Amino acid sequence: MTAITWQRRRATASRFWADFRSHRSALAGLGILLFFGLVAVFASVLADPAGLDVTKATAPAHAAPSADYWLGTDQNGRSVLTLLIHGTRVSLIVGLAATAIAIVIGTIVGIMAGFYGGWARSTLMGFTDWFLVIPFLPLAIVMATVLGASLLNIVIVIGVTSWPGTARLVCAQTLSVRERPYMERARALGGGDWHQMTRHILPNVMPLVLAHVVLTVSVAILSETTLSFLGLGDPTRPSWGYILDNAYGTGAMSNGEWWFVLPPGLCVVLVVLAFTLVGRALEVVLNPRLREGS
């Protein structure tokens, strides 16, 4: 790479950041994400993982918040705060990994459909439309039941059920990129299909996909919470949905145990909201046509 290329990239990056920074809500979202990211990374430092073990719990069950247990305890006498901290890790991992699967499938299907066009496009997009029609939650529930409860399976289920949106977006974008003059130049110079798709279309489609990725993560985290709440999560890896499932199952609401019900939900809302705010801002920054009121 020449120095000029790098200079240009640095300029683009700083312009991008300046644009992004003008969205105050997006910055707030970024801050929230940074906080939860740090909690996830340092979960074992913040709270001893031994606190997740039911057999080692010494505190009374369903205890109210106290100096020792800031957010009280669950039905087994485990600290809710410990569960919450380690749940952050599970929720974020599932959200990110599932999104990665969805994006890979969606991008491959979308680029192939848009690049080859003709019957390849009608077949692939027809298939995508079918998947869009299948109601997401029932499909995820059925798949999770069929595959069995484990962290990996939850990731697969959410990833495999959330790619159609990405595929449509990438296909539409590929169709517009395909007609641009530099594609003709690449073909004239003898670039093969693979070269054209990976070196020319992919880099031009990626920015829009990026915004979509961030929004997909928020949906994936909500889905993980829902599936865990229905008891389809991995019981050995407590997530926020798992805490809510336990709270519901042991009657925390009728006993007024707010510390058991409120915090996990608040965490979900904060993280999902943060991803949504960042994603929306990215969309506007990367696609100026979406900007309102010009």
Query: What number of chain residues touch another protein (CB under 8 A)?
Result: 48
In sequence order, the 6+-apart residues with CB closer than 8 A to the CB of 289 are none
Residue 94 contacts another protein per CB under 8 A: no
Helix, strand, or coil (residue 73): strand
230 lies in the site for another protein, by CB under 8 A: yes
247 near another protein, judged by CB under 8 A = yes
Residue 122 interacts with another protein (CB under 8 A): yes or no: no
Among 162, 176, 164, residue whose Cα is nearest residue 287: 176
Given 163, 229, 242, 259, the residue binding another protein (CB under 8 A): 229
Residues 258-277 touching another protein, rule: CB under 8 A, are 258, 261-262, 264-265, 268-270, 272-273, 276-277
Q: Phi and psi dihedrals of 73, rounded to 5?
A: -130, 165
Which of 232, 281, 282, 285: binder of another protein (CB under 8 A)?
232
- Nearby residues of 271 by Cβ (< 8 Å), 6 or more positions away: 32, 33, 36, 91, 92, 95, 218, 221
* 48, 129, 184, 193: residue in contact with another protein (rule CB under 8 A): 129
Using CA atoms of 194, 195, 201, 202 in order, give the dihedral in degrees to the nearest 10: 80
Report the SS3 class of residue 79: strand
* 105 forms part of the interface with another protein (CB under 8 A): no
Which of the ranges 90-98, 111-119, 143-151, 194-202 carries the binding residues for another protein, by CB under 8 A? Answer: 143-151
Among 174, 218, 239, 246, binds another protein (CB under 8 A): 218
Window of 91-99, 106-114, 123-131, 183-191 that interacts with another protein by CB under 8 A? 123-131
Q: How far apart are CA 283 and CA 294, in angstroms?
A: 16
